[in-house]
Amino acid sequence: MRIQTGDRSLTNNSERDPAVAAAAMLLRLGFAIFAIVLPSAILMSRWVIVVLVPIGAILIILSAVLRGDPFRVLRDLARSLWSVPGLTGLGLVLWAFLSLGWTGQPGAAADKIFKTVGVVVLGLLAIHALPARMRATNLHLITIGVALGALLILASVVAQALGLALLRFPSGTPGRTAIMLTCLGWAAAAWLMIKDRRLLAAILIILVAGVALFGPTTNAIAPMVVGMIVFALAWSSPERVGTGLGTLAAAIILLAPFVALAARLLANVFGLPSDGSLAQFGAWWGHAAAEPLRLMTGWGFNAAHAAREAGQMPVTVPISLLTDTWYDLGLLGAIGFAILVFSAMQAAGRSGLEVAPLALAGLAAAFTYAVIAIGAIQTWWMNGMMVFAVVLLSVERGRYRTVRPRAALRGTAQPAAPGEVTDGASAR
């Protein structure tokens, strides 16, 4: 009997193809790095995520090469680039390279562009290298990884509260882990929902919420709260909420300068203290729009970072991916950013009732952090978002059902149609 599994065919009476076995092993190793190693390993060092993420992505890509046509991934990538999000991304990259002509430190900016583009391209290749159907044995790893990372952080918090010299991690790493868990936790919960383990999914989200509330950084609280609100709203109508949420996020990106201008005017009218959050956000407007032309074109890629290093921008001015995008790339960069965010949220809303509410919650948490925190402009965050995208899409590809045999006629079972997977030979 021949069983179709999506990427390959298996025969009951033949031994397994060594190439298929090697591809499965590489895929599991690469996915294990993303799903179970990183949520815990980034507690140990700041550089773990930068080192391990490319390794995991390369292993996943190699698994696709062994699994079939080595050029399939490139063809799929080319097709995805010929779309609105793909063309928008290419336009952003081109605009960033053009902005090197007027940025303050073109050498450092070019180096950062190449690193950023490298991470994005590697992530896209890993996404397209994923098989059409992910095995449950691989996807169980994400629930284990998230639970382990959350338990380690909570145990460290309890140990410090009790004055015990246990689980002392380097400064900064638990905070980054907590932020990552606020995104990955929703993907892990989505897999548990697919497996109809709602109680375990709720427990996992409670663990991650505990990390956000009692963990080492307060920056995880707002993303977690926003994620929970979005999950509740999207539970019954995820497609509509996905479109509405994408529209709201795009509006926040495009209207940020006007909000900052309003904040500056309010701070001046009411005489609010200069160290207040409203006045600080308004101060960003004064630097971003110092020249009207720069509000359109930006000051050049990496200009905000260079200005902070040179002391040209006060340390009180808010720093986030949103503010740096406007400062560096201006209106054109903000439009591209808005289109990409809208497209991602709209696509997540269409991913089905089992996955969409949790996918939207994870994306909303990531967007919230990108709007409010300085960490979103750092290398570890870009790598973390690549991991989140690969894991989330893997969970979506794990949502498939086996097909039961057709009803028997006069006690004789009819053969399954070609390409069907029967209960007796589940692809999982």
User: What is the percent of the chain with per-residue pLDDT over 90, rounded to a whole number?
Assistant: 49
Query: Which range (6-20, 67-81, 183-197) has the least confidence?
Result: 6-20
For residue 148, give its domain range: 16-252+319-397
Q: Is residue 404 part of a domain?
A: no
Q: CB neighbours of 178 closer than 8 A, spacing ≥ 6?
A: 153, 211, 212, 215, 216, 217, 220
Q: Is residue 58 part of a domain?
A: yes
Q: Is residue 118 part of a domain?
A: yes
In the structure, what pLDDT confidence band is assigned to residue 264 with cuts at 50, 70 and 90?
confident
Q: Is residue 109 part of a domain?
A: yes
Mean pLDDT for the stretch of residues 171-197: 91
- Per-residue HEC secondary structure of 6-35 comes to CCCEEECCCCCCHHHHHHHHHHHHHHHHHH
Q: How far apart are CA 138 and CA 32, in angstroms?
A: 7
- Phi/psi at 353 (5° precision): -65, -30
Q: Is residue 257 part of a domain?
A: no
- Number of Cβ within 10 Å of residue 265's Cβ equals 12
In the structure, what pLDDT confidence band is assigned to residue 275 with cuts at 50, 70 and 90?
low
Q: How many CA atoms lie within 13 A of 8 on its CB side?
A: 19
pLDDT for res 311: 80
Q: Is residue 358 part of a domain?
A: yes
Q: CB neighbours of 237 closer than 8 A, spacing ≥ 6?
A: none
The angle at the Cα of 296, spanning 290 to 302, to the nearest 5 degrees, equals 75
Closest CA relative to residue 178, chosen from 210, 200, 139, 206: 210
Assess contact for 119 and 178: CB atoms under 8 A: no
Q: Is residue 169 part of a domain?
A: yes
Q: How far apart are CA 336 and CA 88, in angstroms?
A: 6
pLDDT for res 124: 93
The residues facing 412 across adjacent strands are: 409
Closest CA relative to residue 347, chosen from 359, 335, 361: 359
pLDDT greater at residue 261 or residue 24: 24
Query: Which range (24-33, 248-257, 313-322, 408-417) has the least confidence?
Result: 408-417
Number of domains observed in the structure of the chain:
1
Assess contact for 330 and 295: CB atoms under 8 A: yes
Could you report the per-residue pLDDT of 60-116, keeping only the tens digit for each? 999 998 887 678 888 888 898 899 999 999 999 999 999 999 888 888 899 999 999
Residue 409 has pLDDT above 80, yes or no: no
Mean pLDDT for the stretch of residues 292-311: 86
pLDDT for res 199: 94
The overall longest dimension of the chain from CA atoms, in Å, is 87
- Number of Cβ within 10 Å of residue 358's Cβ equals 31
Could you report the per-residue pLDDT of 109-146, keeping only the tens digit for each? 999 999 999 999 999 999 999 988 888 889 999 999 99
Q: Locate tokens 């980054």: which residue?
A: 176
For the ranges 24-38, 151-165, 266-280, the one whose mean pLDDT is highest: 24-38
Q: How far apart are CA 235 and CA 356, in angstroms?
A: 8
Closest CA relative to residue 354, chosen from 178, 216, 227, 231: 231
Q: Is residue 161 part of a domain?
A: yes
